[in-house]
Structures are given as structure tokens and as C-alpha cells.
Structure 1
């Protein structure tokens, strides 16, 4: 049964979300400002001396507003200005200095807010993107830009990736500002554009406005908060300290162009590339465990309530040979409640994403191409090793395997660049930000284990990582596997109560940098 966004959502089991304020609140903020956190702290003034509206400190209310803006990025950026103007007004009501940074693409903008600290420590940058991937609206059960709440879940493009994280982080910071907090460092909140695609993302911003985003540590999207088999009880809280290596291959086949009334199956580009896809789809790259992924799987084995799953993980970690490691890994994936996530953390992955062939229905085309998006594990199999393996696999399929580099790059230049990314070490764990992430987990999720992890996808962290700045990632809400699959998919959604508890978690994280009595 569908409920309207303003109706009270059903409660999840109490064990599911154990945090502070958020766990005690049900329902969204009203238009009059009676927000979820109203009355939870003594009144105090903002930086400007004016009270912050309760709705701005309510993660659900703020997320609904974010979701109402269509910031789809179809490959060349999106229209992020209206979204940025809304957030700019939120920061201005709190008295926080904020500015919109225009890019050469009209209405595709960055937003930077800066909460001034006492300067005792280097600034902390909170990095979240405003653009979202396109929607197949006809395949959604609700309007992807309405922020509907249905059975305790809020739906919308970006609910998970990553407007939900933005709302949890921003609402938490505003609670501190409302309490008159003094931080030991500036906290910079960058809501960037072109994270999903485009030319004017964080790299462009770093090149043109580094002084505005220079920081000693960065917190962005990444680590998953996993649930036990009941889909809601927290099992493991993770923060990522490393991203997978992103690269693309093209499978290209050529054949005879001719009239479609006289097919030539043995010389058809489409048939050739289809056979190559079939072969590659049935193949997996070998399992590679690194220091980061070993620690992650060890933590899951200790945290899960599923004994068979834990046993399979330990068999995989103790395997002495590659064949036994592969067998155990298959069992791990089979038994996992998050099979696609865990498969992606074990090996280089390949996904078929774009196909191009033909231009007219009565013409058999002379060329067919399939783009294969790949993600490699840093410190595991090198991208160049994966490419060599794919070429060996497809050597009899009459297709060319092309490495897709940057414009003007040769294949060797592209592979050398990927070698450098592959060798980039994970972020140091001996930092105050990492300790804050860990301590906040204990405070918010009680006895739920906390562990570092590898992010199977990618982030905007490149410019800071290139300068040796430690960067970590969290999506601060407990997710089910079904919700995780909704990332970049249809019916993207997260639990309302998980979002509220995630805001409590972020409140604890930022509280580690307060110097006042709050």
C-alpha cells in the first residue's frame, strides 16, 4: 500500500536502528518547521544570531527538498543551479558563509559552504555530489523526483547516491551550528557537480579554485552499513579508505555490410561481438585478496549471525592455493545477503554497458562495438593483466579488444596511468577523522562492529588523493541488498529510520572536532 510523503511511516523493529535522537522520532518535519529534531537540544543561536529552522536540521525534510530537483546527468553534466540555490539558502539561514562556483557549462555549478573553526587543525572537507544518473521513469513505481515515503522507505533518484548522504551530513552539521558549536578546524562542505560524468567536476574545481577546497582530510561517499539477514539490524559499519580502479574496454567486430535480406552469419559484426559477449559473460577474473579486503572480510566473518557464511569466509581467507580460494569465494558469494557487492570486492569486474551497431533496419552494419566498464582492485590484479587475460580469452572470437584512454593517450600511456592508480596506497588509519568515524559507530550503533573497506565504485576524491590527503567514504544508513541494487537503478530508496540514525552518526563524527562544551 502506498502512503503519501506526509503520512507517518511505519516503524522498523527497535533492534534495527538503535541510535540517539533519530530512533525516537517518527515522521517528517512539517512545513511549519516542527522538525524531527525539534526540542532535542537547548535553543541556541546560529553564526548569524538567528535560529535555524528545525526543518533544515531534519535529514528527511532536507532530503525531500533535494530529491525534488531534477539534477540528472546524461553524460555532459546536469542543471544543478536550482538545487544549489536551495542549499545556499539553507546555509545562509544558518549564517554560514557560502558561495556558488560557476563552471563554463551554464547552470552546472558547485556549491561551497565554510563553517569557520579556530584554526588549530587543518580544514575538513565534506564532499558530496549534487548530480544523479538518469532515470527510466516508466520503470519506477513512484515519481523519482517527488521524495515519496512508502512503507518506511523514501524513494527518489539520489536517495542513496548521494543526496541521502548529503542530507545526513548537512543536517548533522546544522545541529552543531544551532548549538553554537566551536570547531578546532574549518569545515568545508562542497556539493559538487559532474561526479557522475562531465568535464567540470572536482578535478576542474581543484585546478581553478584549490584555495577554496584545500583540506587536511576529506569525507565523501563510500562505505556501506550492512544489515543482518533481517535486512534492518546493523551487522557491520564500514568506511572506505580506497576506491577501485576504473577503466573501459571496447569489443569491436567488423564484417561485411550488405542488404538485410541476405544475411551472412559468419561475417556479421553483430554476431561476432555477440559471441564475444557470451564468452566473456561466462568468465570471471581470478580472486585477489589484499590487506584491505582481507580485513573487511575478517570483520564480516566476526559480525554475521550466519554461521555458514562466516565459515565460508574463513575458508576463503585461509586458502593455500588459488583453486581452493576460488571454490571458497564462490560459496561466500552464494551465501552472502549482498552477493553482487561481495563478488565485486573479490576480483576485477566487467560489465557490458553500451552497444553500438547499425543505422538502418535493412542494412547489416560493417561494425559493432560493445563498451565494457571494468573495476580493478588496487594491489590485486593489474588492469594490464586483466586486459591481457581478456584478449587471450577472446583470441578466437574475431574481435578487437581496445583499451579506452583519455583523449590523445596511447594504450601504453593509459595502462601506465592505471598502473599508478592501482599502486596508490589506501588512506592512513592513524588520523583524527578515522578515529571520529570509528568512535561515532560505537556511540550510534552500540555493539555493531566497525571496519575499513574498499569501495567497489569510484568517487570525486582524485584531486586530494593525488596530493596525499587522506580521504574516506560512508553512506551513513543501513541498507538491504535490494536497496543497494537500486543504486543507479529503478526505485532507488533508503529506510527513513536509517537516514535519521545516519544523521545521528554524522552528528557524532563532527562532534569529535568541537572545542566547546556541546
Structure 2
């Protein structure tokens, strides 16, 4: 394997910012430097990284502002003024990353090495690579003297990975004035990729996200000495029955309009044999056997889009190896389909499945976003992708994960899209690199994405 750097550091000004040379505007160079800041959350400590970004943008003459409820975890707002012909457009990105502890990495996770045409490191995909695309596009516009139709706002935030309290939530609750007039926003795609690259090159455009509902479920029963057979009414027995009741992963089939549209367009985008399977699933989502032959990860993803899901993830209980526990708590990761489904409806379905007499405590509740729209701005995103990759196929997608988009849409009414333009080979599934060891992204994919963002922001597609 060949390991390279993008070259010597560009000259810096007093603020530590890179100059406006071609290298200083390179998405690869920017992504390398972002990765080299260890912003693992928790604890986050994103200040040094955010200040570096500010230095780069200030050095280019782009207006920036820092606001924070925790000085160790600041938010940055940058604005590139436009001609006033369109409403402001929001780009939002987070600089915190998930931990690497306990993972076996082939290369150092914070070195930002380029090896065999790929940039390695935590955050390469989620989402420092995408932030580098955004920054590179803004810097290119500034250097070329291009003025967008409307203001471009870049919000760089901490804390997306653990709840957004000091990041996007703080911004929308304490500083909504920064986003006055914004109708549309672009953020990360939440890992929305289908794994069908060997059939067609799909460009996902996320139009909706599933909503988080995390629940603690407690089972109780008589205790006693563990040298004796456990009672049938014991906590362990009741836990076993709960786990069996949710082993399918879902709470019943629910066909929503946005998922129906996605499956319809996906079926049309794929070759006939594969497309027919997708169409059969669309018409009968209760029978996942029609998807036989597709990748297992793809099947699980599609099945997760036609039902509220619930997954057992964390278990607490017991006081000693020789004591039958009297109480066991199970944490469940619930995800609610987009639309008007309420938390109460989700909990009712869950109680019907696990047992109405069990204690359920909702401890994380995601925001209820407005219904998704496929409108003219979606068409602009698709047009950029089609112009840059005529053989690629833009596709409206629903993601099972949630991002900061939920806060901008639910609190400010902004229509949010997840858009990470990537062009890559059929064997690369970026979704499978999210939060995983050896996270990496192709240099060509970063450059393609930066070109797409520049075309969108400058209106040159």
C-alpha cells in the first residue's frame, strides 16, 4: 500500500488559516486536517477543531461567528452573502466523531493518511469528509469571486453523536435568528446507502428520517438462591419472553407514502430481475422472502423502512452470580416511521407486543418533523448529480438513523435533505464504514462531492 500526504502545509496567516491556493481549497487537504483533531464524543472537546475551521474561513474573507453554551464545545456560523434573489440556504455539519476504543484499526484513526487513493481516519465518512466538501466549495466560490443567488450559511456544530444538546439544539433554541428566512437545508445522509452498487449507481437524497424513541423496560420477579431452579415467574423468565416477543425487530407492517415512493423509484432504477423483487416487496412488505438474493444488509435496511423497529441493546440487572435477580432493566432502541405517528402510538404497539403489565419508561424522544416533501429543491439536487454523473440515478431515500436535521425541521420548519454526493465503485458501501474501524473514503469521492456542492451553490450545473 502506498501512503501519501497531500503535500506541505499551505502558508498560513496570523489566524492559522490556510491560504487560498488550490491546495488550501482542496477537500482532501481540508478533510485530512479535520481528521487529525481528535474530537471523539464523549467528551467532544471540539473547540480546537472549530477554531481551525474559523481560521480557514476568516482567512478567505468569509464572515464567521462563534456561539457556545460550553466554551469547550463551540458552534460556528459562517455566511457567504448572496445577491438576494433566493432565500438563504443552510449547510450543517458536525465535527464530533464516535469512539475508536476497542476497535482494531489497520492504520492510526487520527493520522489522516492517504493510502492507495483513500483517506483513512475516524470521521472520513461521518462526517468530516462531507464538511470538507462544503468548505472546499465555499472557498472556491470566494476565491473565484462568485456570488450565490442567496446567502449560504454554514453551521458547524458539536455533539451530534450524543444528542445535540450543546450543538444544533442550542442553536435552534437560543439563536434562531441565524436561520431567519431559510427554507432548505443540507446535512449528512445518515448512512443512507442501499448496497445495490453492482446493479446500478444510486445517488441517495435523504428526504425523511425515522424518529428515535429509546425505552427502558423493567421486569420483576421473586428472587432466591441461584442453586435452585428459577421460578417461572422470575425476572429472567419474563425477560426471555420479552426478547422472544421482539425478536422479529418490528411492531407490525406500516406502509407510508414516502417509503412507497422510494421503493417504486428504486424498483424502476434497478435491472428487471432485481427491480421486480423490490416491486414485489413494495406490494407485499409483510413477505420479505421476495428479497431473497439481495445482500443481507440491504434486506434488513428495507425491512426497517416498513415498520416501527425495536432492538434490545443494553441489559442491567443482578446482584450476584448465586442470586436470582428480582429486577432486570432492558434498554430498547425504538425507531418510529416518518409521518404523523405519535410517541403514544409507538408505546401502545410496544406494550401490545411485550406485555401490557410491564413498566416502560421513555428516556429519549426524537422530535416529530413535518411531513417530507419532494419539491423543486429536490429536483435541483438531483439535477446536479445527473449533470456530474450522467450514468448515476438520484433516488429519494428514507434513512433509519436520525441526524441534526430533525432539529432544524421540527423547531424551525426548514425542509431538510441529506445529501452527500459520492461517486464510487460498485464494491464500496460507505454505509458499512460508518462508526466502524478502518473508516475511509476515496480521494476521488471527496473531489466529486466538492464539485457537486460547488455546482449547487454557484448555480453552474
User: Which TM-score tier does this pair reach, normalised by the shorter chain?
Assistant: 0.7 to 0.9
- Quote the residue 1:219 is aligned against: 186
Assess, with a 3 A threshold, how the Cα gap between structure 1 residues 186 and 440 changes in structure 2: closer, same or farther. Answer: same
SS in 2 for 1:451: strand
- Quote the residue 1:29 is aligned against: 6
Unaligned runs of 5+ in 1: 7-27, 35-49, 407-413
Equivalent residues in 2 for 1:88-127 (5 A)? 88-103=54-69, 105-127=70-92
- Quote the residue 2:436 is aligned against: 489
Aligned partners of 1:211, 1:217: CA distance in 2, in Å? Answer: 15
SS in 1 for 2:76: strand
Deviation at 1:150, TM superposition (A): 4.2
Q: Does 1:436 align with 2:417?
A: no
Could you report, residue by residue, the CA deviation over 1:449-479 in whole angstroms, capped at 9, with x for unpaired residues?
Answer: 2232222211212343233222211122247
Q: How many correspondences in the alignment?
A: 448
SS in 2 for 1:342: helix
The equivalent position to 1:128 in structure 2, one of 58, 78, 93, is: 93
Could you report, residue by residue, the CA deviation over 1:66-85 in whole angstroms, capped at 9, with x for unpaired residues?
Answer: 111111223xx511101101
Assess, with a 3 A threshold, how the Cα gap between structure 1 residues 151 and 372 changes in structure 2: closer, same or farther. Answer: farther
SS in 2 for 1:56: helix
Assess, with a 3 A threshold, how the Cα gap between structure 1 residues 167 and 301 changes in structure 2: closer, same or farther. Answer: same
Aligned partners of 1:325, 1:461: CA distance in 2, in Å? Answer: 28
Aligned partners of 1:120, 1:177: CA distance in 2, in Å? Answer: 18
Assess, with a 3 A threshold, how the Cα gap between structure 1 residues 447 and 283 changes in structure 2: closer, same or farther. Answer: closer
With 119-128 and 460-469 compared, the bigger mean Cα shift is at 460-469
Partners of 1:202 and 1:460 within 8 A in 2 = yes
The equivalent position to 1:248 in structure 2, one of 211, 214, 226, is: 214
- Quote the residue 2:458 is aligned against: 511
- Quote the residue 1:343 is aligned against: 303
Aligned partners of 1:492, 1:308: CA distance in 2, in Å? Answer: 33
Deviation at 1:348, TM superposition (A): 1.6
- Quote the residue 2:119 is aligned against: 154
Aligned partners of 2:298, 2:154: CA distance in 1, in Å? Answer: 31
- Quote the residue 2:148 is aligned against: 183
Equivalent residues in 2 for 1:202-213 (5 A)? 202-213=168-179
The equivalent position to 1:392 in structure 2, one of 352, 355, 358, is: 352
Partners of 1:350 and 1:375 within 8 A in 2 = yes
Q: Does 1:353 align with 2:313?
A: yes
Deviation at 1:157, TM superposition (A): 2.0
Assess, with a 3 A threshold, how the Cα gap between structure 1 residues 174 and 263 changes in structure 2: closer, same or farther. Answer: farther
Aligned partners of 2:73, 2:248: CA distance in 1, in Å? Answer: 41
- Quote the residue 2:397 is aligned against: 453
Partners of 1:391 and 1:401 within 8 A in 2 = no
Partners of 1:176 and 1:511 within 8 A in 2 = yes
Deviation at 1:311, TM superposition (A): 0.8
Deviation at 1:130, TM superposition (A): 1.2
Aligned partners of 1:481, 1:271: CA distance in 2, in Å? Answer: 43
- Quote the residue 2:14 is aligned against: none
Aligned partners of 1:260, 1:143: CA distance in 2, in Å? Answer: 46
Equivalent residues in 2 for 1:9-20 (5 A)? none
Assess, with a 3 A threshold, how the Cα gap between structure 1 residues 267 and 473 changes in structure 2: closer, same or farther. Answer: same
Could you report, residue by residue, the CA deviation over 1:121-166 in whole angstroms, capped at 9, with x for unpaired residues?
Answer: 2211100111122223443333222223444433322222111211
Deviation at 1:94, TM superposition (A): 1.0
Could you report, residue by residue, the CA deviation over 1:20-77 in whole angstroms, capped at 9, with x for unpaired residues?
Answer: xxxxxxxx6312559xxxxxxxxxxxxxxx9603233211221111111111223xx5
Unaligned runs of 5+ in 2: 12-17
Equivalent residues in 2 for 1:250-399 (5 A)? 250-258=216-224, 264=230, 266=232, 268-305=234-271, 307-317=272-282, 319=283, 324-327=284-287, 329-332=288-291, 334-336=293-295, 338-358=298-318, 364-379=324-339, 383-395=343-355
Could you report, residue by residue, the CA deviation over 1:235-271 in whole angstroms, capped at 9, with x for unpaired residues?
Answer: 2212122221211122211234555556636455345
Equivalent residues in 2 for 1:58-73 (5 A)? 58-73=26-41
- Quote the residue 1:172 is aligned against: 137
- Quote the residue 1:426 is aligned against: 372
